[in-house]
Structure 1
């Protein structure tokens, strides 16, 4: 069984790369896992995740996965445009191999700010209730 947050990250990246709205704004190599400020703009960094166990059953468990996407752009406006495309691309239920999305994937909040270097930085926080065989 794949770790739930990694499975969700892979599904989200696949959904973003498949979105024509996101691909108009961001090159596929710039949508990646990582923990640092990117060198290429615009970028979407699949950031840190948190997994909470929501219930154990004999051969099945439910978890809630929280995941932040860090969006970077040359300007705050460009960053917000990428954030809007991301939210649109993630609407609905992505296919997460090995897991059921019990309650879908939801965008919990989006925060946008200007980085000290004057580029735009956004954080899109996601939540997914997922179930899978143990």
Structure 2
């Protein structure tokens, strides 16, 4: 409902903008009112959404770990260590087999599990840069 109201206010602002001659637009009060109303409406709606919906979300770590471990994007962290082609082959094999990237990488490379865990740690990867 709020989005529909803001869309209507935006349309009125557009029409008001077309109504001006030269630099004199008698519709500027309408533009200002509708813009401020839209901002207020959307900020109140965002606050309500945050308080009543998003704040009550519960993250289920168990549901996150399995798909994350199988996500082919993880192999990009291995590119600098084993090369792009080898990393791409690991991603493809893991995807086709529905297996975690780390398991396939352990089989296909000479890197030990501890090194792979360090290189493929999603938390470290989200912070930018290359793992050391």
TM-score (norm 2): 0.28
Q: Highest relative contact order (Cα 8 Å, sep 6+), 1 or 2?
A: 1
More helix by share: 2
TM-score (norm 1): 0.28
